[in-house]
Amino acid sequence: MLEETGPEWLSEEVKTGTTIIAIEFDGGVVLGSDSRVSAGASVVNRVMNKLSPLHDKIYCALSGSAADAQTVAEIVNYQLDVHSVEIDEDPQVRSAATLVRNISYKYKEELSAHLIVAALSLAMNRDGSSGGVAFIVSIDEHGTEEKVVLGNDLPTFFDQ
């Protein structure tokens, strides 16, 4: 009797979308993401920077529809700029997160976007499997510094 193993697609590797992560540590937060943009099963861009500034010291990691996520980030960036002029100081990360939450909820039926909001952090984006690039944003009380590093120049966990 033949053993039934099921459809071939059940044994194939499962590929999902974007990976974004935020890790809190004593003194800050690290944001990270992959750098690939896909449309269905096809990779349409291997080096998109998914870490977006919302204000001078506030960043977010983007996932979901690239167009939707970038639009939400741009709207929040504009609103935070206006808000900081009105209050004559930098906005709080809570204000940025609240704006993202309110926009996401208001347009939940139309949008396919998910953002992680963080401040006073180190943000890094790397896709080592494709060579890719790393977009690194250092954020501290003195300001921000952005760098782009080629994936082949980055150490891997087994380098000494």
Please say whether the beta carbons of 20 and 50 come within 8 A: yes
CA dihedral over 54, 102, 45, 19, signed as positive or negative:
positive
Is 18 labeled as catalytic in the residue annotation? yes
Spatial distance between the Cα atoms of 130 and 107, rounded to a whole number of angstroms: 34
Spatial distance between the Cα atoms of 137 and 1, rounded to a whole number of angstroms: 60
Spatial distance between the Cα atoms of 70 and 60, rounded to a whole number of angstroms: 10
Task: Give the list of residues 6+ apart from residue 110 with CB closer than 8 angstroms, or none.
Answer: none
Options 5, 16, 18, 19, the catalytic residue:
18
What residues are labeled active site? 18
